[in-house]
Structure 1
Amino acid sequence: MNEFPQSIQFRYQWRTYQKKILADMAALLQNKRVHLVAPPGSGKTVLGLELMVRLNKPTFILAPTVAIRNQWAERFLELFWQGDKTPDWISTDIRQPAFVTIATYQGLHSLCSFEDSGGFEGDDVDIATEHQTESLGGKERKEAYKRLLDMDFQTLIVDEAHHLRAAWWKSTIDFRRSLNKPTIVALTATPPYDVSQKEWKNYIDLCGPIDAEIHVAELVKEGDLCPHQDYIYATTPTVKEAEPLLAFHNEVTSFMQQLKTDKAFISFVEQHRYITDPANQAQEMLANQAYFSSLLIFLHACSSEAWKQPAKLAGLYEKNIPPFEEEWAEELLDHLLFKDAEMDEKQSPLKDIRQHLQRIGAIERRKVTLRSTKTFDRSLVNSLSKLDAMTDIVSFEASKLEDKLRLVILADYIRLIDLPKHRGDEQPLTRLGVIPIFEQLRRHIDSKVKLAVLTGSTVIIPTSAKKRAEKEAEKVGLELKLKPLAHDPNYLLLTVDDNTRANMVSIITAVFTTGGIHVLIGTTALLGEGWDAPSINTLIMASYVGSFMLSNQMRGRALRIERDNPNKTANIWHMVCIDTEQYDGGHDCLSLQRRFKSLIGLGTEDNIIESGINRLAFPKPRYRRRLLKESNEKTFAQAANRQLLADRWKKAVAMEGRPTEEISADARSIPRPLWFGTTLKAMIVIGFLTLWQGVTVERPSSYGSKTEMTFYLVYPIVVSALFAAPFFWKAIRIWWRNSTIEKSMESVGEALYKALHQAGIVETPWEKDAISTIKAGHGTLECWLKIGTTYEKTVFLKALQEVIDPIEDPRYLLYRQSKAHFRTRKDYFAVPTELGRKKATAEMFHREWKKHLGKAELVYTRSFEGRQILLQGRVKAMSAVFVPRSERISAWR
């Protein structure tokens, strides 16, 4: 078989945005590469299949998981194939390739490397994996791989390729190189914008530059995704969970106080080589600037004078020294006890300190942990307070939607052993999971709310749904084996065997869709991806194990439109347990913030569409119980008005827009201009010449005529104006370009882009107003580039982050010094890596900087003097720990 049967074609109508994408593809396919970005629910798979049919060549499709692999086959049969039976030229078995072969990355890697290793980023313990090749020996694998190559695939489709670990990545690249110049079709929902330049280049090497992007806003506008909103419900640890946590924090507080009054330890730190001989330790201190900073910060907190001399060398002023808190104590003690090769942890006072830390449980695997421990981190993620949160959320949604409620809860584990064995066997719930969640809701929710459980091995339905379930089973020729739950006859336990397992999901989904079930609790592995249930109008994400890609897939379950319900909206609930004793809220809060970087949606207060947690106006640190309670109340008030949500989405997508990648930065990190010096020069010139003029006026008798006198009066004015004009003009120009913080951000961006263009790193010429910046609330700015290719925008934004973020280890930096209010101010800014590789390109950036932001000195940091300045810059950066780093966000503008 060399081509598809002529009858193969898409059986339905294309959506508007899909038509637009396909219209552009003809030209793109001539380059033998197509790279499409599209969110879950956009029909990304269908577009990939259409491109496959248009290319009309033997095709190999790589999917990230078994569920998504099977989805590719199912979508083709449902949307393109005209027959009843699966044709023999489609294969999902990599051992038996066909004209269209669909496999997982793991399956391909197993054939290529003759081993089973690697995997997806994150702890995806619930993602099904490929087992087809596990039973094959080395010879059989080689034969299977040869059969694969003999198919001479001319089309290679890679789905979500960027989430691969290095081992699978290498196997995929090697396989592509083994083919005869195939056409690459790359599809992804979340491009890896936040990876290193090297990883990005590897990704682009396989997938090519991004050719087209479908944005969530377009899908909602076209009616292909429903209006939706993410909501965060915050909890604090239960009393039982909080007791050991609070005891730990109290122990740490006591330890910190003792440490700052321990004369033996203070004396020990005062004798450290960084303190007694800093001039000869510059190279080492530069490599360990956080360690060096922690020494200074500790001595300052102890009122020791020893910090002053090394601080002077590092250019650190007392006003910039932060308080000695747990983070700095961890840095200090980690090095003194475990990392500093010249320290002997067995000597006093280090030995006593280590024993104290071990006694309070603040050492894990040779690492000091004063803010939290792995055990406490897990207790936050799996806090039982989330069971109460789910009760509150389900009760709230049921009160608003009543019989229209279609709520799904996704969890990581089943925990079948927690199901009571008989009436009266109900035990206190001790962990999260499908069964504990079911039991929590069964015990505390109104009996009118119909609950169900759906996993690969356990199915529970309400007794009231029995007839509906049996009716759906009859449609597929099955007879269900049902028996009452031993501890509650209002629910039935369905026996799942090999005969019923394949159809169980579709049967229960149908019962759920028709209202026989209001709340369906299942595992992420079974329902998190590839499951289609458009009736879902509420989702609670109680899953914390999978990768960020999986979060997007799970969330996508609720966003799909429902044909018979044009007014559908979806509420997606995220729960977070916050440790109020930690400034940042603890591990669970930080993890939630990272997850939201890939979740795009509508702001809760403004009609903006972007990624990141800031759009939800969630409280900022420091977190307090009262603030969290108020936040939850406000969240429920917002979630209650679904019609307002739909109206706000309509307004947000009404205007023409396009997807953008942006930088969100704290306003305090934005470089401000130095134009005082140029103004001063002008004033000195004018002052000097005015003095001359004053002297001439005082001696009118020395002039022979009024004409001569007028000349000597006017001459200084003209000369001073001519001499001062350049300085005044430069000052005015710089001031005008930087009159607001937004304009300063744009000036930095303009200087950077022009330097990148001069260096040949970006090709698109500069245009006026090519950079936009807005104030985004909470003291942040958002900046994006309106010109250039996706690659050029990525390069620009990465470089911009290097400039405005705390300095690390650049090859070149910009240094400037100014005086204001009788104080000397020193600023340090990195020359981005792309421009810092060569002196010539670094100088391009230096020249543009001076034009747009005023005087600065270009410093080569690999020289002795340069390293001294770099050390000063890094120590200053360490003192600015409470100025958050910039973030990449996706938005619709």
Structure 2
Amino acid sequence: MDAQPRPLADWRFDGELRPYQAEVLAQIPAAPADAAMHIVAPPGSGKTLLGLLLAVREGRRTLVLSPTLTIRQQWVRTARTLTAAPDSVSDDPESLADLTALTYQVLSVTGDSSPFDDLARAQWTDELTEAGRTEADAATWLAALAVDNRSQYRRGIRKRAARLRRRFAQARPDSLSRVLHPNALELMERIVEAGIDTIVLDECHHLLDHWAIVVAYLRARIRERGGTGLLIGLTATLPSPDDGTGFDNYTQLLGDVDYEVPTPAVVKSGHLAPYRAHVWFTEPVPQEAHFIRRSEAQLHELMVQVLSTPDGLSYLQEQLQPDVAESDSPPTETMRRLGIDRALSEDFAFAASCGAVLRAVAPRHPLCALLDPKLFGRAGTDDLLLVLARFSLGRLLPDPAARDQWRYVKGALADFGLHLTDRGIRRGRNPLETTLATSVAKDHAAVDILRRELAEPDGERIRAVVVTDVVESGDNRGLTGDAAPGALRVFDLLAADPVTAALTPVLLTAQHLRTTDTAAEQIADALQEALGVQAEVVDGVGATRVLRVPGYGGGRLVAAVSQLVSAGSVRLLVGTRGLLGEGWDCPAVNTLIDLTTVATSTGTQQLRGRTLRLDPQWPQKVAHNWSVTCLIPPHVDLDDSAELDRLRRRHSHLWGLSADDRTRVITGLDAALDERTRNLLDRVVAKDASTSIDELNRAALASLRPRAQTRDDWRIGEPYRSREREVVAVRAVRRSELTRIVPTVAAGTTWPFIAGAAVTGGLTITVCASAGQAMPLLAGIGIAAAGGVVTALASRTRAIARIIRRHHDPALIHLAAVQAVARALTEAERIPVLSDDAIEVDLLHLPDGSSRLRMMFQGPSRARTTLTDAVQELFGPVRTPRFLLRSVGSRGPGAWLPVPQQIGRRRADAQRFAQLWRETVTPCALVEPQGEEGLSVLRAARAHTGYLDGSAPRTTLWG
């Protein structure tokens, strides 16, 4: 009887693999013991081909799961290039083949947003039946509990759901099947019966809850039938550990990353387009500014009416003087200072807010003279709202006579997105944040950006995409009567502007297809030719027209419009991130204008990945990725940090060329803004009236370089070293602050050491004399002692020279300091032993004459992060550390440094760290602030702002 042919046995790839693709195939073993392969690589780096070749190597029937129809079709097209038998590839769940590509949704669970709740309820029912109830009685009891005591019912569900989430990947298939749709169960049984044994999970970062359950169930069923259930996970971005149990689910399925291809490596090897990140700053338009001004006035009125009252001032004073009120005698200045110190130690953030608010509402209050402006600075909006909410809970709610005032404050805080209840404060949707995030000014910025891009030397090559969160938002607070924020609004503006309208813009969403009135017939004809059906111009208003393509939507229409972009018929596409984000493939796009609120690692990198694919029609392609940020101007004394926080988080996930040093590839905002611009941004946020957002934007745009220069800066094709290093930057510390040379040198040449050397020398001479060499005893001892001292000093010369050289070299000082931190963490079993070259320190001389020290750490990811956190804490401002290190300087008291929390958890570890510091850096004292003396010590330590580089204290460096 003939043996069955091995699945995928005749599949071949005749092209040339990219270096990292070949390296993945060489480094990841076939049939790994944990039955999982986990690969991270950027969009456009060839993950589809790589996944197929891994599956071919395994030689088993394969199922490919992807999140969208567009991505599914990419797998089908690529798979069919590897085989001469097109029937061996299928995208039909009713006709499974050697390789079948489906979407996760086909196997999806029920529409319940929390499938673990269903599992938890089922488990609770089982527990009740095991305790003696019938199944019907258990179900009735649970239903009654859900109505009569909803909080207790939800608590029971949450507790069981949390346990299930932690161990769901090991759950029995029959347990998991309870939350799967019958149709999905039936399809998965057919998949198992068909002998599918390898599952390729494209964009596997989606495997957090629902789809993770699907994969876990399918894998368990395959294994029950004797299969391996090999998982091949492919993603451009790892989910964040902040996803909690979802992240745990993901790692249970796929384990650690087996191979990661960093985006810069793919760019430098010539397989992705070089790129630059840019930021356009704007401020609210007049109508929005009016709403913000009204909010500012409301907050000021609220502050005056509530916190300027005797009761409000008394509350603030009590928070800053927690023990003074208990004293019978009038407090002295010393007692007041200690009270402030104690408040900071008990709750630093809240005490700092109370002090800042007191300085704002009652600047002549006696306590204000004792409030250091470095710690108690400007009272920001968050400070005011926090203090108002806590005051209301602590003073107004318990007082029946303050009922009306409680209601007034509660209503006012709700306007700022804070819901005040008797259980505490819950944050809701902040209207200030919404106003800035959806500002009309951002739409105008899109027009301005495109005008600027078109004016550049490569302007005729611009193919741009403008991406929004939604088609049309239901929230247009502050803009009553105007169009709602979203893709429709920004498209109308782009279609009406004569410069951007010349780009033949098209709006494409799941329900909308529009273009300009002048281009409507042209686009309709082009779509008709591409799709083979009649496309018609329906209607429109003003400069826009609506197009309709009967029977077509989703992936086919997106592909057709993308072809028009590639052909240059359409040079500007507007849409939402749901359609033009993950999986959308249009290599001609070279300019992204991001108007979304996306700031997660996954969403950010997926959006930026749209512009990085190589364009066959422009081999010298360079991509520009723009973030648009709306800030409240400095002259308005209201602030909201959401936009800036979003900008910082977004860029923390992205690699890019440093704006200050284009030879470096880094993460963080300094890949988009140079130091001058970052400093201006800090001043704008700090409400410096001498600055403006226009000035900030001009500074940001001044660093915009021609695309050809950016391509040169990437140095494509040159050798590179693919490694990541965490970087902490500190300002160059005067050596007199950190070290003291005389005691350090003396540590190697102390009198006891010299006396010991003299005795040793005397004994040596005496031994020689007893061996037969004639010499008077006293003379011999004297000469020997002198000789011993000289010999001892000579033997220590090199060590002393090293100490002196280190004292005069800040890089060596800080290298010794970081090595002490690393060694302390290792001995405390927080990190493994690092290699000798894991720590580097460079001294950088900047154009303005200042200096920075760049401390760089490499090694295993978690160890690297732990060390970086500790070093950043060591050189940062003092807050509430358990231990302080007083590093003795040449002149004055030296430096107060907080012992990093990871070291200061145990006294023995902190003592060992201090010992290492004395041995390798400088004399020091370990201080545990306690009692009144400890509070005074903390006050002195907090007076110093730390040594971190304020413009860019931390980043990640590649290469």
- 1:565 and 2:618 aligned: yes
Distance 1:870 1:565, change over 3 A: farther
Paired residue type of 1:851: E
Aligned to 1:784: 856
Aligned 8 A contact 1:227 1:646 in 2: yes
Which of the residues 459, 477, 494 maps onto 2:513?
459
SS at match of 1:460: strand
Q: Distance in 2 between matches of 1:780 and 1:346?
A: 55
Secondary structure of the residue aligned to 2:322 is: helix
- Per the alignment, residue 389 of structure 2 pairs with 334
1:814-852 per-position Cα deviation (integer Å, ceiling 9, x unaligned): 5437588766864322241xx667776666545434433
Gap change, CA 1:679 and 1:184, over 3 Å in 2: same
Q: How many residues are aligned here?
A: 829
Contact 2:267 2:274 (8 Å CA) reproduced: yes
Of 226, 246, 258, which residue of structure 1 is paired with 2:273? 226
Match for residue 712 of structure 2 among 643, 647, 668: 647
Q: Which deviates further from its counterpart, 18-27 or 276-285?
A: 276-285
- Work out whether 1:411 is the aligned partner of 2:468: yes
TM-score, with normalisation over the residues of structure 1?
0.76
Task: Report the identity percentage.
Answer: 21
SS at match of 2:823: helix
Q: How many Å separate the matches in 2 of 1:434 and 1:187?
A: 31
- Does residue 392 of structure 2 align to residue 393 of structure 1? no
Aligned residue type for 1:658: S
Matches within 5 A, 1:731-750: 736-737=805-806, 739=808, 742-750=811-819
3-state SS of paired residue (1:365): strand
The answer to whether the 8 A contact 1:434-1:523 is kept is yes
C-alpha distance in 2 between matches for 1:531 and 1:143: 31
Cα distance change on mapping 1:779 and 1:874 into 2, 3 Å:
farther
AA matched with 1:234: F
Q: Does 1:13 align with 2:69?
A: no
Partner of 2:323: 275
Is residue 56 from structure 1 mapped to residue 59 from structure 2 by the alignment? yes
Q: CA deviation at 1:45?
A: 2.8
- Residue 920 of structure 2 is matched in structure 1 by 852
Contact 2:109 2:180 in 1 (8 A): no
Distance 1:540 1:280, change over 3 A: closer
CA distance, structure 1, for counterparts of residue 306 and residue 783 of structure 2: 72
Are the aligned partners of 1:264 and 1:349 in contact in 2 as well (CA < 8 Å)?
A: no
* C-alpha RMSD of the superposition: 5.4
Spell out, residue by residue over 1:131-158, the C-alpha distance to the aligned partner (whole angstroms, 9 max, x if none): xx99997655555555566667644444
**C-alpha contact (below 8 Å) 2:471/2:488 kept by paired residues:** yes
Q: What's the TM-score, normalizing by structure 2? A: 0.71
Identify unmatched segments of 5+ residues in structure 2: 118-175, 327-334, 755-777
Q: Residue 291 and residue 759 in structure 1: after superposition, are their counterparts in 2 closer, same or farther (change >3 A)?
A: closer
For residues 49-448 of structure 1, the aligned pairs below 5 Å read 49-61=52-64, 63=66, 65-67=67-69, 70=72, 73-84=75-86, 87-88=89-90, 93=93, 100=99, 110=109, 116=115, 154-162=197-205, 165=208, 180=223, 182-191=229-238, 206-252=253-299, 262-271=309-318, 274-276=322-324, 288-295=347-354, 302=363, 318=372, 321-323=375-377, 325-326=379-380, 327-338=382-393, 340=394, 344=397, 346=399, 355=408, 358-359=411-412, 361=415, 364-366=418-420, 374-400=430-456, 401=458, 403-415=460-472, 430-446=483-499, 448=502
Structure 2 residue matching 1:513: 3-state secondary structure = helix
**Cα drift, residue 580 of structure 1:** 2.2
Match of 1:663 in 2: 727
- SS class of match (2:592): strand
Q: What does 1:490-569 correspond to in 2, within 5 Å?
A: 492-499=545-552, 502-544=555-597, 547-569=600-622
- Write the deviation string for residues 88-108 of structure 1: whole angstroms up to 9, x where unpaired: 4x55x5x99775565666776
C-alpha displacement of 1:613: 1.0
Tell me how far apart the structure 2 counterparts of residues 685 and 258 of structure 1 sit (CA, whole Å): 68
CA deviation vs aligned residue, 1:386-433 (integer Å, no higher than 9, x gap): 122122122223344554332221223334999xxxxxxxx9853432
CA contact (8 A) 2:417 2:428 kept: no
Which residue of 1 is the match for residue 161 of structure 2?
A: none
CA distance in structure 2 between the aligned counterparts of 1:466 and 1:228, rounded to whole angstroms: 35
Offset from partner CA, 1:220-245 (integer Å, 9 cap, x none): 22321222212111111111111221
**How far apart, CA to CA, are the structure 2 residues paired with 1:6 and 1:456?**
40
- Deviation sequence 1:70-117 (CA, Å, 0-9, x none): 2563354354344455734x55x5x99775565666776727999658
Cα distance change of structure 1 residues 442 and 513 upon mapping to structure 2, 3 Å threshold: same
2:31 corresponds to 1:24: no
Task: Quote how far apart the aligned CAs of 1:269 are.
Answer: 3.9
- Partner of residue 606, structure 1: 661
Q: Report the 3-state secondary structure (helix = DSSP H, G, I; strand = E; otherwise coil) of the residue aligned with 1:575.
A: strand
Q: Structure 2 vs 1, CA of residues 496 and 525 (structure 1 numbering), >3 Å: closer, same or farther?
A: farther
Q: Is the 8 A contact 2:316 2:355 kept in 1?
A: no
Deviation at 1:500, TM superposition (A): 5.8
**Is the CA contact (8 Å cut-off) linking 1:660 and 1:890 kept in structure 2?**
yes
Partner of 2:164: none
Displacement of 1:216 after TM fit?
A: 2.5
Distance 1:793 1:250 in 2: 47
- Residue 186 of structure 1 and its aligned partner are, at CA, apart by 3.4
Q: Which letter does structure 2 place at the counterpart of 1:185? A: I
Question: Matched residues in 1 for 2:798 and 2:385: separation?
Answer: 51
Q: Find out whether 1:830 has 2:900 as its counterpart.
A: yes
Deviations 1:724-761 (Å, cap 9, x if unpaired)? 999x9999866755655544543343223334444566
Q: Structure 1 residue 596: deviation in Å?
A: 0.9
User: Contact between 1:386 and 1:577, CA under 8 Å: does it hold in 2?
Assistant: yes
Tell me if the contact between 2:108 and 2:184 (Cα under 8 Å) persists in the aligned partners.
no
The AA in structure 1 aligned to 2:612 is L
**1:597 Cα deviation from its structure 2 partner:** 0.9
Q: Which amino acid aligns with 1:603?
A: S
Is the CA contact (8 Å cut-off) linking 1:685 and 1:720 kept in structure 2? no
For 1:452, give the aligned amino acid: V
State the one-letter code of the partner of 1:337.
S
> Hey, what does 2:152 align to over in structure 1?
none
> What is aligned with 2:650?
595
Q: 1:336 to 1:548 in 2, by over 3 A?
A: same
Residue 336 of structure 1 contacts residue 345 of structure 1 at CA under 8 Å; is this kept in 2? no
Q: How far apart are residue 436 of structure 1 and its match?
A: 1.8
Distance change >3 Å, CA 258–CA 799, structure 1 → 2? same
Q: Offset of 1:549 from its aligned partner? A: 1.6
Summarize the Cα distance change of 1:824–1:572 in structure 2 as closer, same or farther, 3 Å threshold.
Answer: closer
Tell me which residue corresponds to 2:864. 793
CA drift at 1:869: 6.0
Deviation of 1:601 (Å): 1.6
Alignment check: 8 A CA contact 2:64 2:102 kept = yes
Secondary structure of the structure 2 residue equivalent to 1:410: strand
Q: Do the aligned partners of 1:157 and 1:185 also contact (CA within 8 Å) in 2?
A: yes
More contact order relative to length (CA 8 Å, sep ≥ 6): 1
CA distance, structure 1, for counterparts of residue 6 and residue 604 of structure 2: 37
Match in the other structure for 1:766: 835
- For 2:534, the aligned partner's letter is E
Determine if contact 2:728/2:871 at 8 Å carries over to the other structure.
no
Q: Is the 8 A contact 1:158 1:184 kept in 2?
A: yes
Aligned-partner SS, 2:399 = coil
